[in-house]
């Protein structure tokens, strides 16, 4: 099913949130919000109708061309932040990176996992932080489609058999039990 990530910066107020939810309801789309962090709020919209994307573009939200992962990466050593921002947001950045910006002591990177897999981004982050012997704290900012959760879990658990069909929450939603 087609999906799009929305980013509101700053986060929407209750009226704006309600208007977006009403638009999704009229278009028979589902919307899943993440809580506001780093002065922004993300939502995932899934709809069988592509036309809702054009309607969402009329709101204040940034509407990405598909789903994105939005991740705030905070190096434990402050000197690692600027090289990390350059690697993730500069001219040689991975192809799937849509944006990378500084927010306080964090680099907020938004990327399309279809174009750049997590393993590639993780390796780049670890390489840049490793130069300074820095650890990192990651905060996921955007809700993800079930297929992306399955891919991330499959990689992290080293379980290639993990697919969306094997995720309990997906099955519950498919059968209107959740």
**Can you give the pTM of this predicted structure?**
0.88
- Given CATH 3.30.70.100, say whether it is the number of domain 69-140: yes
**pLDDT, tens digit, 9 for 90 and up, residues 32-45:** 999 999 999 999 99
- Angle 118-130/81-89 helices, nearest 10 degrees? 150
Angstrom distance (rounded) from CA 83 to CA 165: 39
Which strands sit side by side in the sheet containing 30-33, from one edge to the other? 30-33, 41-46, 3-8, 62-63
Segment 38-65 shows an average pLDDT of 93
Phi, psi of 60 (to 5 degrees): -75, -10
CATH of domain 3-63: 3.30.70
| Mean pLDDT, range 22-32, rounded to an integer | 94
> Taking a C-beta distance cutoff of 8 angstroms, is the pair 68, 142 a contact?
yes
């Amino acid at each position: 099913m087609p999906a799009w990530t929305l980013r509101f910066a700053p986060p929407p107020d209750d009226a704006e949130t309600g208007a977006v939810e009403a638009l999704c309801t009229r278009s028979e789309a589902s919307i899943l919000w993440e809580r506001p962090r780093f002065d922004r709020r993300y939502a995932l919209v899934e709809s069988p109708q592509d036309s809702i994307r054009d309607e969402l573009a009329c709101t204040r939200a940034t509407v990405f061309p598909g789903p994105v992962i939005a991740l705030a990466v905070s190096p434990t050593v402050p000197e690692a932040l600027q090289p990390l921002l350059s690697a993730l947001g500069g001219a040689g950045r991975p192809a799937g990176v849509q944006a990378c910006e500084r927010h306080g002591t964090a680099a907020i990177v938004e990327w399309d996992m279809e174009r750049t897999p997590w393993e590639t981004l993780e390796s780049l982050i670890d390489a840049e932080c490793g130069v300074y012997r820095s650890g990192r704290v990651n905060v996921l900012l955007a809700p993800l489609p079930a297929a992306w959760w399955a891919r991330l879990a499959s990689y992290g658990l080293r379980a290639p058999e993990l697919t969306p069909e094997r995720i309990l929450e997906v099955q519950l939603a498919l059968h209107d039990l959740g």
